[in-house]
Amino acid sequence: MDLRIIHVDDQLLVIDKPEGMHTAPLHEGETGTLLDAVIEQYPEVERVPGIKPVEPGLLHRLDKGTSGVVVIARSVRAFTGLLRQFESGDARKEYLAVCVPGPAVRSRRLSVSSRFAPLGPGRAKVQMVMAYEHRVRMLKTASPGTYTTEAEIAERGAVCCLVRCSLTRGFRHQVRVHLAHLGLPIVGDVLYGAPVPPGFGERMYLHASAVELHHPADGQPLRFESDLPGEFPLLLVSTMDGPQSAGAMEG
C-alpha cells in the first residue's frame, strides 16, 4: 500500500487515511490495517508503546469509514509527549461531515457535552450519558470524563449541509453520536446517521480534516490538514435523487 504521507520527521508521522480501512487491528492477528502498512515502511514504530498492545505508536484512531488525518509516534519519547497532549486536551482535532439537518436545527453554531456508555450487542454502539442522567446501570458503565463537540454549519446544500466539528479529548463514535443528537445525522453512518442517496458511493461522509498539536521535541505548534474528499461537495448539491450534472453544479 502506498501511504499518503502528510508529514514525516524523526519523531512522528502524519498519514492521510483512506476510508474503508481499519486504522489498527481490532484484535491480535488481524492484518491489512493502516498501521500494518506504516510498520512495513517504518519498522521502528512497532517498538513504540501504544494505548493498546495492538496499536504501537498510534495516538488516536479513526473508524473504518472515516478518512483523514492520523498521527503516529516514531519514538517512545514522542509517544509519551503526544499522548499527554491528546489526553489533556492540548491537541485539537477537526472533522468535516455531510449531514441531513432535521427541522429543529436552526442555529449555525452548536455544542454538546456528554459522557458515553456502551450500547447493544457486543457494545458495537455507544450512547450519550448526560449530566442529569440518574439511571444507575448506565452510570456504572459510563466513561469517567465528559466529552465536548463544537459544531458549525459551514455550508448549506439543497438537502444536506457541511458541518465542521472540533474537539480536544475524543471518545469512540463521539462526533457521530453528538451530531445525531443535535439533529445532524451523518450521511452514510449506518449506526447513527442517514442513508446514502442513489448514485453515490456507500461510505460514511465523515472526514478528519485537521489536527493541531505541539511538536514533542521542541514544542513548536503544528497544524496538519487533509483535503476534503471530492465526493463531499458533490453530495451537497444533490437533491438526494442522485448526483447533479456539472452544469447544475456550476449554475
47-67: pLDDT as tens digits: 999 999 999 999 999 999 999
Specify the pLDDT at position 127.
87
pLDDT at 144: 63
Query: How high is the pLDDT of residue 136?
Result: 43
pLDDT for the residue 152: 97
What is the DSSP annotation of the chain? ----EEEE-SSEEEEEEPTTS-SS-SSTT--SSHHHHHHHH-GGGGGS--SSTT-TTBS----TT-EEEEEEESSHHHHHHHHHHHHHT-SEEEEEEEE---TT---SEEEEEEEEEEESGGG-EEEEE-TT---HHHHHHS-SS-EEEEEEEEEE-SS-EEEEEEESS--TTHHHHHHHHTT-PBBT-TTTSBPPPTTS-SS--EEEEEEEEE-TTT--EEEEE-PPPTHHHHHHT--SSSPPPHHHHH-
At a CB cut-off of 8 Å and minimum separation 6, what does 38 contact? 3, 13, 15, 45, 57, 72
Residue 74: name the closest of 90, 56, 92 by CA: 56
Single-letter amino acid code for the residue at 208? A
pLDDT of amino acid 131: 54
Homologous superfamily assigned to 5-243 = Pseudouridine synthase (3.30.2350.10)
Spans in the chain with pLDDT lower than 50: 136, 245-251
Q: What is the mean pLDDT of the chain?
A: 89
Q: What is the value of pTM for the model shown?
A: 0.89
8 A C-beta contact, residue 68 and residue 62: yes
pLDDT of residue 158: 84
